[in-house]
Amino acid sequence: MDYNTILHSTSGSSLNDSTPYRRLIGKLLYLTNTRPNISFVVGHLNQFVSSPTDLHYKAAVRILQYLKHSPTLDLLFSPQSTTIIKGFSDSNWGACLDTRKSVIGWCFYLSSSLVSWKSKKQTTVSKSSTEAKYKALSMASCEAQ
């Protein structure tokens, strides 16, 4: 996703026919099972399925261009014998411009293989970045258990 473009529900002009956008987002959602590196941006664009704009469609096409130029970046399960579990979590305080809710994410590795990941908008508005990070860590620890 282009870091200079900030997408929200009113950015851009409305599409005449939203069917191609919805089909594209559906296909990209299915693809996130093997390409977790696009799960955040696809989830972000999925928020605008009810009323997409031309900027949302351009961002979705940009994902397709990224996928075309990086065909080998997918999940890799290596045959290592050590079983070390590593986990990471983070949050982006007030990331959603429409609701001011924070976006959290985590991922867990078994040896060097990614086995669990998630990126989602929090259900409540956090009053500080510390509170948002605490909620992300709490949800990640539940996933780890």
Residues 6 and 70 both lie in one domain: yes
CA 115/CA 51 separation, integer angstroms: 34
Domain count, the chain: 2
Nearest Cα neighbor of 74 from 115, 112, 36, 21 is 36
30-52 tens-digit pLDDT: 888 778 788 888 888 888 888 89
Local structure of 130: helix, strand or coil: helix
Which tokens is 117 given? 């990941």
**Domain end call among 46, 75, 104:** 75
**Pair (16, 68) in one structural domain:** yes
Residues 1 and 71 placed together within one structural domain of the fold? yes
First to last CA, the chain: 32
4 with 30, same domain: the answer is yes
> Residue 90 phi/psi, 5° resolution?
-160, 165
Give the end of a domain, one of 25, 54, 75. 75
Asked if the structure places residue 80 within a domain, the reply is: no
Does residue 54 share a domain with residue 32?
Answer: yes
Domain that includes residue 45, residue range: 1-75
pLDDT for res 80: 64
pTM of the prediction?
A: 0.60
Residue 47 shares a structural domain with residue 92:
no
Report pLDDT for 91: 87
pLDDT band of 25, cuts 50, 70, 90: very high
pLDDT value of position 12: 82
pLDDT of 140 > 80? The answer is yes
Same domain, yes or no: 41 and 111: no
Per-residue pLDDT tens over the stretch 61-117: 999 998 888 877 666 666 766 778 889 998 888 777 778 888 888 888 887 777 888
- Check residues 79 and 121 and name the one with the higher pLDDT: 121
Residues 59, 122, single domain; the answer is no
pLDDT band at 24 (very low <50, low <70, confident <90, very high): very high
Same domain assignment for residues 30 and 98: no
Q: Is residue 42 domain-resident? A: yes
Angle between the N-to-C axes of helices 54-69 and 19-31, in degrees from 0 to 180, rounded to the nearest 10? 40
